[in-house]
Amino acid sequence: MSKTIFEYSSDGRHGVILPEREIDIPLSDMFDEAQLRKKDARLPQVSKLEVMRHYIGLSSLNHFIEKGMYPLGSCTMKYNPKVHDHLAKHTCFANLHPLQPESTIQGALELMYELQHDLAEISGMANVTLQPSAGAQGEYVGIKIIAQYHKAKGNTHKTKIIIPDSAHGTNPATCRLVGYDVVELKSDENGRCDIAQLRELVDENTAGFMLTNPSTLGLFETQIEEIAEIIHSVDALIYMDGANLNALLGISQPGKGGFDIIHFNLHKTFSTPHGGGGPGAGPVGVVEKLLPFLPVPMVEKNDEGYYLDYSHEDSSIGKVQSFYGNFGVLIRAYVYIKMLGGKGLRRAGENAIINANYIQAHLKDYYHIMHPEFCMHEFVADSSWQKKKYGVNTTDIAKRLLDKGFHAPTVYFPLIIPEAMMIEPTETESLETLDMFIQAMIEIAKEAEENPALLHEAPTTTPVRRVDDVRAVKQLDPIFKIED
Ligand SMILES: *Cc1c(COP(=O)(O)O)cnc(C)c1O
């Protein structure tokens, strides 16, 4: 790494000239003795240009979407148009206070009302709450609604929720948090739900079923009608994990196909920023019969305008978030949906699917793909060939991609595919970029064959080499290395 400004500080050099003090008041007249510094702060003395270079350099040490492709499957790292940020920062929005009288925030309420209804239309649901601030919190709201539904019906015997083995880890965690037992459903040889096993697992104690569609294998679950019939036959509900809705946009409405509840990740499909822990938004949509259980308040409209509606407070699961959710994120998703419109959203979905299939088709001779059929917005390749023949694993391949200017795909997930590499290009990458990524992956496949040591040592061009992932999350020292 090049020198930091702390290392090339020079006494007396500076970047700003402060005005002369007009009145000379001794510092000891303004502050307590105990508050005064005994020694000068150890700040670097550098010029403005050097400060600029320092921060520009720091800003590009990490990988980000504006720097290069970020094909992190299941995370939908698409480009977030800058106009979203520009509008979210507008004083008309940024200076609002959530406790202002409703008559003075009609615009903000209208935006939320419209977003509720646009998401309801996209998903085919009756209405949508915007409160949850992450996909996982959306799941929590959805499963709480399942519990509230059964409570209202006196279904006290319902104790379990069935989840396929390909599910995102948050799904079983959410169910446990709400107090349900989790029962795992195996995938069949086609990567779809094993219907015969589902029939065996479902009984009177089943409260619900949680399904990700497209699945984390990037496959469309083709047996939804049959699944819905089995689940509904015991008065259980079907939850769809819709974190990754890109492939369904404008093409299929889950609410019309048997699902009762869905959550959306605005920070994935609807192009609001994510990473670094948020802020995000995980709105939840429900069918008509579950409307009474949605969190309060909802945004509604009458002759006088828009208002916050608490009328179903008694049946609601309650409030899950301070005020009305991450409003700044909602603005960005609203702008995205309105700018694209129905046709644009559908094109985004179609292009996401085409891009994923394009990469899959070009890589299938170089990497093993368990389900090499047409995929949706993502697909899962794995490094089992490379591991067996050359001792190169998925971590090695992922790290080598960093040297070639790409972020790695999601690795070792879903858990049912050993050495998984889950690749999601999204619709925002051009054909040229897809070709460069394919080229890099093919080069790596050749390197695995000819020079596996190169891959074991990767990455060599990043400021930090391989970190101990487990220690790194507990010990947040960004320059801590595995050999320390
Ligand atoms: C990302 C994701 C989640 C969780 O969303 P968060 O906003 O990270 O809490 C849940 N399910 C699936 C399939 C996901 O991809």
- Asked whether 135 lines ligand 1 (CB < 6 A), one says yes
Residue 297 shares a structural domain with residue 151: yes
Among 312, 340, 368, the domain-final residue is: 340
Whose alpha carbon is nearest atom 8 of ligand 1?
Answer: 135
- Asked whether 168 lines ligand 1 (CB < 6 A), one says yes
Rounded to the nearest angstrom, the distance between the alpha carbon of 265 and the centre of ligand 1 is 7
- Asked whether 244 lines ligand 1 (CB < 6 A), one says yes
Mutate to test the pocket of ligand 1, among 72, 76, 170, 321 (most ligand atoms within 8 A of CB): 170
73 found inside a domain: no
320 found inside a domain: yes
| pLDDT, mean of residues 230-255 | 97
pLDDT above 70 (res 275): no
Question: Considering only 22-31, 225-234, 302-311, 474-483, which range has the smallest mean pLDDT?
Answer: 474-483
Rounded to the nearest angstrom, the distance between the alpha carbon of 15 and the centre of ligand 1 is 45
Residue 328 shares a structural domain with residue 362: no
Residue 149 shares a structural domain with residue 190: yes
| pLDDT, mean of residues 31-41 | 88
Whose alpha carbon is nearest atom 15 of ligand 1?
Answer: 74
- Asked whether 245 lines ligand 1 (CB < 6 A), one says no
Ligand 1 atom closest to Cα of 216?
A: 13
Mutate to test the pocket of ligand 1, among 215, 219, 265 (most ligand atoms within 8 A of CB): 265
Residue 159 shares a structural domain with residue 255: yes
69 found inside a domain: no
71 found inside a domain: no
- Asked whether 170 lines ligand 1 (CB < 6 A), one says yes
pLDDT at 354: 98
Stated pTM of the model: 0.91
Residue 56 shares a structural domain with residue 89: no
Residue 279 shares a structural domain with residue 136: yes
At position 312, the amino acid (one-letter code) is: H
pLDDT at 43: 85
pLDDT at 126: 98
pLDDT at 472: 77
pLDDT at 24: 85
CATH of the domain at 428: 3.90.1150.10
- Asked whether 213 lines ligand 1 (CB < 6 A), one says no
Whose alpha carbon is nearest atom 6 of ligand 1?
Answer: 135
What residues make up the domain containing 430? 349-474
pLDDT at 451: 97
| pLDDT, mean of residues 151-176 | 96
481 found inside a domain: no
Rounded to the nearest angstrom, the distance between the alpha carbon of 303 and the centre of ligand 1 is 38
- CB 200 within 8 Å of CB 223: no
Ligand 1 atom closest to Cα of 212?
A: 13
Rounded to the nearest angstrom, the distance between the alpha carbon of 108 and the centre of ligand 1 is 27
- CB 336 within 8 Å of CB 271: yes
Residue 55 shares a structural domain with residue 120: no
| pLDDT, mean of residues 161-171 | 95
Mean pLDDT across the chain: 93
Number of domains in the chain: 3
| pLDDT, mean of residues 453-472 | 89
Question: Considering only 312-316, 358-362, 450-454, 469-473, which range has the smallest mean pLDDT?
Answer: 469-473
**Confidence band (pLDDT; 50, 70, 90) for 475?**
confident
Residue 336 shares a structural domain with residue 372: no
Residue 50 shares a structural domain with residue 100: no
**Confidence band (pLDDT; 50, 70, 90) for 283?**
very high
318 found inside a domain: yes
- Asked whether 134 lines ligand 1 (CB < 6 A), one says yes
152 found inside a domain: yes
**Confidence band (pLDDT; 50, 70, 90) for 57?**
confident
Mutate to test the pocket of ligand 1, among 168, 211, 264 (most ligand atoms within 8 A of CB): 168
pLDDT above 50 (res 482): no
pLDDT at 58: 85
Question: Considering only 40-44, 81-85, 321-325, which range has the smallest mean pLDDT?
Answer: 40-44
**Confidence band (pLDDT; 50, 70, 90) for 425?**
very high
pLDDT above 60 (res 481): no
Residue with the larger pLDDT of the pair 365 and 63? 365
The model's pLDDT over 433-442, given as tens digits with 9 standing for 90+, comes to 999 999 999 9
| pLDDT, mean of residues 131-137 | 95
pLDDT above 50 (res 266): yes
Residue 333 shares a structural domain with residue 355: no
Whose alpha carbon is nearest atom 3 of ligand 1?
Answer: 135
Among 313, 340, 367, the domain-final residue is: 340
pLDDT at 23: 85
Tell me whether strands 284-286 and 261-264 are parallel, antiparallel or unpaired: antiparallel
70 found inside a domain: no
- Asked whether 282 lines ligand 1 (CB < 6 A), one says yes
Residue 95 shares a structural domain with residue 237: yes
Contacts of 370 (CB under 8 A, 6+ apart): 191, 217, 380, 382, 417
Residue 190 shares a structural domain with residue 321: yes
The model's pLDDT over 68-114, given as tens digits with 9 standing for 90+, comes to 999 999 999 999 999 999 999 999 999 999 999 999 999 999 999 99
- Distance, in Å, from the CA atom of 198 to the CA atom of 227, rounded to the nearest integer, reads 8
